[in-house]
Amino acid sequence: MDGDSFCGEDDNFDWGSEDEREIENYGLSSSSSLTVPGAEATASSAEASSSVGSSGSKLIDHFVGMGFPEKMVAEAIQENGEENTDLILETLLKCSARSSASSSGSKLIDHFIGMGFDAEMVAKAIQENGEGNTDTILETLLTYSAIAKSEPKQGNTLVFLSRMGYTVEEASIAMERCGPDATIAELTDFICAAQMAKAADASFPEEKPKLKLFDDNYPKHKKRSYYEYDKWKKKQRLRLEKTMLQGDDEMIRLPNPMIGFGVPTDPAIVTRRTLPEAAIGPPYFYYENVALAPKGVWSTISRFLYDVEPEFVDSKYFCAAARKRGYVHNLPIQNRFPLLPLPPHTVHEALPLTKKWWPSWDTRTKLNCLQTCIGSAKLTDRIRKAIEDYEGDPPLSVQKFVLDECRKWNLVWVGRNKVAPLEPDEVEMLLGFPRNHTRGGGISRTDRYKSLGNSFQVDTVAYHLSVLKDLFPGGINLLSLFSGIGGAEVALHRLGIRLKNVVSVEISEVNRNIMRCWWEQTNQTGNLIDIVDVQQLNADRLEQLMSSFGGFDLVIGGSPCNNLAGSNRHHRDGLEGKESSLFFDFCRILDLVKCIMTRN
């Protein structure tokens, strides 16, 4: 069943190749020097690898315990020697990939049980889906376990890895090998090493390697198994190794001031940069997310986006509200220009009516980040009551209370002793959207705040995208992922860049309506295609779309920040969180677009 295009028929695998040696060393370096994230998992994985090799039989047990047949293990050990467990594992992976098509039902059951699912559940799932399709079996199992609330962590990890494009088999083996507490980074690196071992099977000199992707059913198996991908992963891994060896020095640090490669008011010192070769378009891409994500997240994002260094920018240099975001893109950075007219840069300029009521002891000139929730009426009432007892300035303690709340909720002064949250249209204006962009059409006030809070700051993004105007005088074809209320589209439109064909992927119906509305109101001459779910966007669909208008010039999107954002008390799970892991769909789709573009 498995296409296994990277696992060639050639049995004469060169175990001494350079790649292999890197893999060989990799386990050691990763377990000895990975400090963040997940020191626990590292410890357990180091323990696992040191516990084997003490005796031959123990070694066999080890691999048998991972689900490999004893005979296969024995042969692999004979072939590679006892010392090198990593090489043994590669051999086993290779062999089991080959024999997976003929795997027996009981082996399959064991396989899923080994993943932590209940035996009865597994049997049922296999019966339901047949033995052939492990993917659907897994989905069924995940559904069961989601219902049963059993093993949510493992289930999530598997879903996550599968979303990244790995097969269930690869993922589950990695999970077994790295232990239950392994971080996603460790798991992906493990899988990567295994894939590279397999990729080395394919002879190297081919010049048009990616074509294999399209001859078998890629989207069905989601396997990212082509030469360029492996090359890419190799670079990523080398970089990761380097970062781990050098410790925290290589961790991505936020710039201070957060102006990226420059802002209109503070031109950059850096005007040139050298992009990694793999990052160079077409297409151009532009990825956005919150700057203050948990540690390690931006390293991973950068690593998955061709090692491009993120550009961290605070939108307070573009408008009257802060918005600290990281942008990973391969756009030129010379000759940027801002949208005109320049938006107001202070609260007083943005909201002139507040100036009259603004007390001298509130020294704010900028608002904090515009979020998805607003302060309540009760809070503003408490603040009024706290202040109105005093003739002049309230005591410092009261001032502090009021200021803290004002900063936390972005309250502004709208009357004597009266503060209030921003109105939705004020948020629209601050973010660079046309007035009433999100108003009407059946959207509630709460939803407006939510959609706006999740959006781009248009002036900031437009500044970065402005370089496209000269590059594409005739307009661009745009693939907009996680479009939301259309921040990217609005930015390009305001830059005067014609939108020829826009494929917009957005799961929220109200947001799609907002976008469609804007599209029609602004008399666009191009073509807008809606897609609901990024996960529907597979190779077939992309090829079909791209063949009709000849590829995308720009792939843009900010994937969900839910599990990265500091405001999230409940599920700040990092990139492997339920929503935030959609980042890997951005990567997957960008890779596909890149592939299709280079082929044509």
**If we measure between CA atoms, which residue out of 422, 420, 535, 433 comes closest to residue 494?**
433
One-letter identity of residue 142: L
Query: Is 289 a residue that touches DNA (CB under 7 A)?
Result: yes
Output the smallest distance, CB 81 to DNA, in A: 41
Q: Quick one: which of 99, 143, 365, 376 contacts DNA (CB under 7 A)?
A: 376
Q: Quick one: which of 21, 58, 242, 295 contacts DNA (CB under 7 A)?
A: 295
Output the smallest distance, CB 453 to DNA, in A: 5
Output the smallest distance, CB 304 to DNA, in A: 16
Q: Is the Cβ of residue 410 or residue 466 nearer to DNA in the bound state?
A: 410
* Residue 151 DSSP class: S
290 beta partners = 325
Helices (H) and strands (E) in the chain, counts: 26, 9
Q: Quick one: which of 265, 271, 548, 567 contacts DNA (CB under 7 A)?
A: 567
Q: Is the Cβ of residue 165 or residue 294 nearer to DNA in the bound state?
A: 294
Q: Is the Cβ of residue 72 or residue 292 nearer to DNA in the bound state?
A: 292
Q: Is the Cβ of residue 197 or residue 485 nearer to DNA in the bound state?
A: 485
Question: Based on C-alpha coordinates, what's the Rg of the chain?
Answer: 27
* Residue 266 DSSP class: B
Output the smallest distance, CB 493 to DNA, in A: 20
Query: Is 445 a residue that touches DNA (CB under 7 A)?
Result: yes
DSSP string across 57-118: HHHHHHHHHTT--HHHHHHHHHHH-SS-HHHHHHHHHHHHHHHGGG--HHHHHHHHHHTT--
What is the rounded CA–CA span in Å between residue 399 and residue 394?
A: 6
The count of chain residues that interact with DNA, using the rule CB under 7 A, is 50
Residues 56-95 binding DNA (CB under 7 A) are none
Residue spans of beta strands (DSSP E) within 432-548: 476-481, 499-505, 527-531
* 329 within 8 A of 279, measured Cβ to Cβ: no
What is the rounded CA–CA span in Å between residue 492 and residue 496?
A: 6
Query: Is 571 a residue that touches DNA (CB under 7 A)?
Result: yes
Q: Is the Cβ of residue 140 or residue 156 nearer to DNA in the bound state?
A: 156
3-state secondary structure of 327: strand
Q: Binding string, 235-264, against DNA, x = CB under 7 A?
A: ------------------xx-x--------
Q: Quick one: which of 211, 342, 353, 377 contacts DNA (CB under 7 A)?
A: 377
Query: Is 444 a residue that touches DNA (CB under 7 A)?
Result: yes
Query: Is 123 a residue that touches DNA (CB under 7 A)?
Result: no
Query: Is 568 a residue that touches DNA (CB under 7 A)?
Result: yes
Query: Is 319 a residue that touches DNA (CB under 7 A)?
Result: no
Q: Which residues of 391-409 are buried (b: 16+ CB within 10 A; e: fewer)?
A: eeebeeebbebbbebbeeb
Q: Is the Cβ of residue 86 or residue 585 nearer to DNA in the bound state?
A: 585
Provide the H-helix boundaries in 395-434: 396-409, 424-431
Q: Quick one: which of 310, 531, 560, 587 contacts DNA (CB under 7 A)?
A: 560
Q: Quick one: which of 123, 146, 292, 398 contacts DNA (CB under 7 A)?
A: 292
Q: Quick one: which of 93, 115, 196, 291 contacts DNA (CB under 7 A)?
A: 291
Stretch that binds DNA, among 50-58, 219-227, 330-338, 552-560 (CB under 7 A): 552-560
Provide the H-helix boundaries in 255-395: 297-304, 347-350, 377-388
Stretch that binds DNA, among 116-124, 195-203, 212-220, 566-574 (CB under 7 A): 566-574
Q: Is the Cβ of residue 256 or residue 523 nearer to DNA in the bound state?
A: 256
Q: Quick one: which of 408, 416, 435, 599 contacts DNA (CB under 7 A)?
A: 408
What is the rounded CA–CA span in Å between residue 331 and residue 313?
A: 15
Q: Quick one: which of 369, 479, 534, 545 contacts DNA (CB under 7 A)?
A: 369
Stretch that binds DNA, among 113-121, 179-187, 440-448, 500-508 (CB under 7 A): 440-448
**Backbone dihedral region of 126: left (phi > 0), alpha (psi from -120 to 50 degrees) or beta?**
alpha
Stretch that binds DNA, among 9-17, 136-144, 322-330, 497-505 (CB under 7 A): 322-330
Alpha carbon 210 to its chain centroid, in Å, reads 23
Query: Is 569 a residue that touches DNA (CB under 7 A)?
Result: yes
Tokens 């220009």 belong to residue: 337
Output the smallest distance, CB 316 to DNA, in A: 8
3-state secondary structure of 56: helix
Burial class (CB in 10 A: 0-12, 13-18, 19+), 547: exposed
Contacts with DNA by CB under 7 A lie at 253-254, 256, 288-292, 294-295, 322-325, 368-369, 371-374, 376-379, 404, 407-408, 444-447, 453-455, 482, 558-562, 564-572, 579
